[in-house]
Structure 1
Amino acid sequence: MDAFLLALPLVFQPHVLAVMAMAAVFGLFVGSVPGLTATMATALLVPLTFFMDPVPAIAAMVTATAMAIFAGDIPGALLRVPGTPASAAYAAEAFAMTQKGLAERALGTSLVGSAIGGMFGTVVLVLSAPQLAEVALQFTQFEYFWLACLGLSCAVFVSTASPVKGTVSLLIGLMLATVGIDITAGHPRYTFGIPDLLGGVAFIPAMIGMFAVAEILRNVVSTRVIEPPKLEHLFRVFHGLGGVFKRYWRGLVRGSVLGTAVGILPGAGGDIAAWVAYALSKKLSKEPEKFGTGHVEGIVDAGAANNGALSGAWVPALVFGIPGDSITAIVIGVLYVKGMNPGPTVFLQNPELIYGVFITFFLANIVLVPFGFAAIGLARHILRIPRTIVWPIVLLFSMVGAYAIDNSLFGIVVMLTVGVLAFLMEENGFPVAPAILGLVLGPMLEGNFMTAMIKADGNLLGFFERPIAAALGAITLLLWSTPLIMMALRRARMRSASERG
């Protein structure tokens, strides 16, 4: 309590609050531009933090990333072009709601859900950081392999197409993930002699292409006139949200808990949390057939999960100095520069600074609502611009985002190539979401599998020797075998019914 009281005057100073306000505007802008991720927003702030004290420096990063994660939902809902990877899981769902005239409902749900998920993650961060980080530290390559398998299994659930087409799309994503240098042998794979492919297919340009370029091509070749989405009544953003969260409160809690838990696992991040939360929401929903048609339930879960993961990622970062995601990896460097070496001792040597960071988390999620509301208000003016002007601008911003990842024109080539591939897939009924999931989790799956096999000396039983790995493995295998078991039971019932008849 003494440390908390000492931290209050460190945060509630005019210049600290002003820094947070400017960081909020910056984060909203970066997050709303496809390709300019929350990680990039954090990285761009690093040079400015050298001239700040520790508390305003960390406050700026926390605020900017929270805003950027939500801001990615705005182009996702209005144009089906997610601004950040964390928004990709439910961009199609939000856009389907927009086409039904429910843009305000989609964005309002995402905004409030993100704030609630972020607050929940912050409470967990403050109360349970040491205990939860210890659990995460017990994960080795065996556990991460099964975790990746569970994540890939979500492809079947996020897919609105047939399971076969969803599996084919997943395999396409996994194939793209194998491009580059072989993890164990160090030999180039599927690079066709192109040096830029040695580092693999960059995820951000590929994601931009699968959504932005594919959507642009769809609008170019379409012969029907598409009415622009309407967002005329700004205050309807909050209208009816009480009923939404009252009906789907279990999903809100589940998304917040799941997002925080996934965020605590080093290397996972908000994008994986959002995919898993959306898939789980569909699996447990009483109306799974509505998913993909503009159903708000999935947005409640996934919107809370991605901001919950943002807070959860700070648990291992602060307590053990292990980054939970790419954002906290950058922040750890800033903490070292500021003399706040992350680890157990920082709670003893600089407790007031740590509690100052906690307070900024609460403030960032509180100001997310008014600043996000203002961003939605500005977005409605964009909708009045003719589509013939909007899509070239979207393509231009997409090219900037794809180029900015590695400052290479090859990122634009990847974006355009994968965009054409995604367009052809969707035209033939193959969903894009499983391919993106395969591209995200493919390196994690392969890397942990190869390392685990080396550790186990080629013994597959090594994947079940550790308690957590055995539990995750059992859940994964049960999940994979469930469709086969259900099919066998269905056939047995049909056979017995025909025999009785």
Structure 2
Amino acid sequence: MLANLLAAFGQVFDPYVLGVILLAAIYGLFVGSVPGLSATMAVALLVPVTFFMPPVPAIAAMVTATAMAIFSGDIPGCLLRIPGTPASAAYTDEAHSMTKKGQAEVALGAGLLFSVIGGLIGTFVLITAAPSLAELALKFSSFEYFWLVLLGLTCAIFIASNSPVKGFVSLFLGLMIACVGMGNPAGFPRFTFGNSDLLGGLSLVPIMVGMFAVSEVLRYAISAGQKMKVVQSKIGNVFAGMWGLTVKYPASILRGSILGTTVGALPGAGADIAAYMAYAVSKKFSKEPEKFGTGHVEGIVEASAANNSSLAGAWIPALVFGIPGDSITAIVIGVLYMKNLNPGPMIFVTNPVAMYSVFIVFILANLLMLPLGFLTIKLAKKILEVPRNILMPLILLFCIVGSYSINNSAFDVGIMLGFGMLAYLMEENGFPIAPTILGVVLGGMLEENFISSMIKSDGNFVAFFNRPIAGTLGVLTILVWSMPIVMRLLRKKQITEIYVNG
């Protein structure tokens, strides 16, 4: 273990890797600071660049860019009342209210410091939980993986959508996309319509880039680029008074970090869900709930800790089971496969040095956030003045080049543009795109484990419940499925009783 750890330090603290981390940090901070450019989009745009990198710097670039973008999304939220990333939307009104009261440095300082603390706590949970879960996962067969994937897809529908029906439709669209081509247990071409380009299936990276980057470019183009006005608020020393907040709200920091890590580990949830839940929990347990919404820092403290800790939490199921915790780790899983770091319980046995390197990068990225985040806050007004009518066409150009470079195929560019339009139409009509991505990533795994299990059991479905872990996961999945029906029946019963007792 010590030898692997030393080797990992050697890999991470190589000048080339450190240079990649620094550039990725600057890139992530910039992308997060520009309203409309999400952390997922930042990672999707990095994928073509990682083709030319060894595994450790490729993963380091993604980890660092994500952490930085999630934090820097707070900056336009605070100064413009336009969240830079969805993860910052939960407390945008709170931060902007503080800015109008002349407390911008307190709001931004809290967002920075407690993002770092939350990220470090989440990383500690990742380091301790992932190897332990991997030992348990070694006992998993196709029966357990089938139920686990099914449970993850089910949770994604209910957690990541206000409308479970729309989440369900979105998920089935992703599962249908995963069926295209010959990548199925029978090796039979499906939904190819005689097109040889579809025999290998639809490439994941063009789909990701299209749905997360091109859709944002389309949204900007259609909105005709509204001009943004920055609230002129003096930003002094953002670290002043932070120790006082740490002493005053230790329970909020810890609660937000644990909640964020837990929510991050749920498939399809992500940092934005974690931030909303943490903000709501903070208000629920606050001694001053009436101050929320008027420019009160307590909610920002807890939600900032939650959104960054969720990033590390999302890596737990991604590394151990190959099941993405959010859309960012869905992209990362694709890169891991390209770099021959196949996710699963054996990754800690076959590639221990790479895993230790990932853990070190998480710690380094969060520590690096303090000085670089401070500089970004100081330069915030300059970053927000970058003309988006120049920035968006450059992003589209990079998307096209990146999608083409994967297979040197113009067909992939068409896939990217098509899925960009699809994602835009879905989001405009309230259909979440996270379940679609999870369906694409996990569809093959679901089918493969189901077919393998049916062959092993000679078609006897009872075998899916015979093993203790499989039975537990199966019952849990069925309970999650039946919960909305039970809740609806209870509500009807209550309404009937009220009407009868009337």
**Residue in 2 that maps onto 1:70:** 67
Deviations 1:137-193 (A, max 9, x none): 122222222222222223333445433223222222222222222512211111222
Query: CA separation in 1, counterparts of 2:355 and 2:159?
Result: 38
Map 1:147-226 to 2 at 5 A: 147-222=148-223, 225=226
Query: CA separation in 1, counterparts of 2:437 and 2:482?
Result: 24
**Residue in 2 that maps onto 1:138:** 139
Alpha carbons 1:70, 1:110 under 8 Å: kept: no
Give the aligned residue type for 1:455.
K
TM-score scaled to structure 2, two decimals?
0.69
1:307 aligns with 2:307: no
Query: CA separation in 1, counterparts of 2:228 and 2:94?
Result: 11
Deviations 1:365-413 (A, max 9, x none): 4234434555676776443122322221221122233234334322221
Deviations 1:44-64 (A, max 9, x none): 332xx9xxxxxxxx6x56743
1:275 aligns with 2:272: no
SS of 1:431's partner is: coil
Compared CA separation, residues 331 and 167, structure 1 to 2 (3 A): closer
**Residue in 2 that maps onto 1:52:** none
Which has the higher mean CA deviation after the structures are superposed, 162-171 or 123-132?
123-132
**Residue in 1 that maps onto 2:88:** 94
Alpha carbons 1:181, 1:198 under 8 Å: kept: yes
The Cα of 1:94 is off from its aligned counterpart by: 3.5
Alpha carbons 1:154, 1:279 under 8 Å: kept: no
Alpha carbons 2:252, 2:282 under 8 Å: kept: no
The Cα of 1:69 is off from its aligned counterpart by: 3.1
Alpha carbons 2:206, 2:415 under 8 Å: kept: yes
**Residue in 2 that maps onto 1:25:** 22
Structure 1, unmatched stretches of 5+, are 50-57, 81-89, 263-271, 318-323, 334-340
Compared CA separation, residues 139 and 361, structure 1 to 2 (3 A): same
Alpha carbons 2:270, 2:311 under 8 Å: kept: no
Structure 2, unmatched stretches of 5+, are 32-40, 78-83, 285-292, 294-298, 323-331
**Residue in 1 that maps onto 2:491:** 490
Query: CA separation in 1, counterparts of 2:373 and 2:147?
Result: 37
Alpha carbons 2:69, 2:85 under 8 Å: kept: no
Compared CA separation, residues 487 and 454, structure 1 to 2 (3 A): same
Query: CA separation in 1, counterparts of 2:108 and 2:396?
Result: 23
Query: CA separation in 1, counterparts of 2:395 and 2:76?
Result: 9
Alpha carbons 2:183, 2:200 under 8 Å: kept: no
Map 1:21-420 to 2 at 5 A: 21-28=18-25, 34=42, 36=44, 44-46=52-54, 63-71=60-68, 73=70, 91-94=85-88, 115-116=116-117, 119-120=120-121, 123=124, 131-222=132-223, 225=226, 227=228, 247=252, 249-256=254-261, 275=269, 286=280, 300-310=305-315, 325=333, 362-371=363-372, 374=375, 381-420=382-421
Query: CA separation in 2, counterparts of 1:417 and 1:303?
Result: 32
Which has the higher mean CA deviation after the structures are superposed, 486-495 or 108-117?
108-117
Query: CA separation in 1, counterparts of 2:372 and 2:477?
Result: 41
Query: CA separation in 1, counterparts of 2:129 and 2:254?
Result: 23
The Cα of 1:39 is off from its aligned counterpart by: 6.5
Identity between Structure 1 and Structure 2 (%): 39
The Cα of 1:217 is off from its aligned counterpart by: 2.4
Compared CA separation, residues 436 and 168, structure 1 to 2 (3 A): same
Give the aligned residue type for 1:256.
T
Query: CA separation in 2, counterparts of 1:235 and 1:404?
Result: 45
Query: CA separation in 2, counterparts of 1:184 and 1:362?
Result: 40
Alpha carbons 2:119, 2:308 under 8 Å: kept: no
**Residue in 2 that maps onto 1:265:** none
Give the aligned residue type for 2:64.
M
The Cα of 1:208 is off from its aligned counterpart by: 2.4
Give the aligned residue type for 1:67.
T
Query: CA separation in 1, counterparts of 2:314 and 2:436?
Result: 22
The Cα of 1:250 is off from its aligned counterpart by: 2.3
The Cα of 1:310 is off from its aligned counterpart by: 4.5
Question: What's the RMSD between the two structures over aligned residues?
Answer: 5.1
Query: CA separation in 1, counterparts of 2:392 and 2:228?
Result: 14
Compared CA separation, residues 255 and 479, structure 1 to 2 (3 A): same
Query: CA separation in 2, counterparts of 1:226 and 1:233?
Result: 21
The Cα of 1:483 is off from its aligned counterpart by: 0.7
Alpha carbons 1:78, 1:98 under 8 Å: kept: no
Alpha carbons 2:87, 2:271 under 8 Å: kept: no
Compared CA separation, residues 72 and 399, structure 1 to 2 (3 A): farther
Give the aligned residue type for 1:44.
F
TM-score scaled to structure 1, two decimals?
0.69
Query: CA separation in 1, counterparts of 2:347 and 2:441?
Result: 28
SS of 1:139's partner is: coil
Map 1:471-486 to 2 at 5 A: 471-486=472-487
SS of 1:425's partner is: helix
Give the aligned residue type for 1:307.
A
Query: CA separation in 1, counterparts of 2:120 and 2:283?
Result: 31
Query: CA separation in 1, counterparts of 2:89 and 2:405?
Result: 26
Alpha carbons 1:99, 1:229 under 8 Å: kept: no
The Cα of 1:195 is off from its aligned counterpart by: 2.3
The Cα of 1:484 is off from its aligned counterpart by: 0.3
Give the aligned residue type for 1:469.
A
Query: CA separation in 1, counterparts of 2:492 and 2:400?
Result: 52
SS of 2:269's partner is: helix
Give the aligned residue type for 2:484.
P
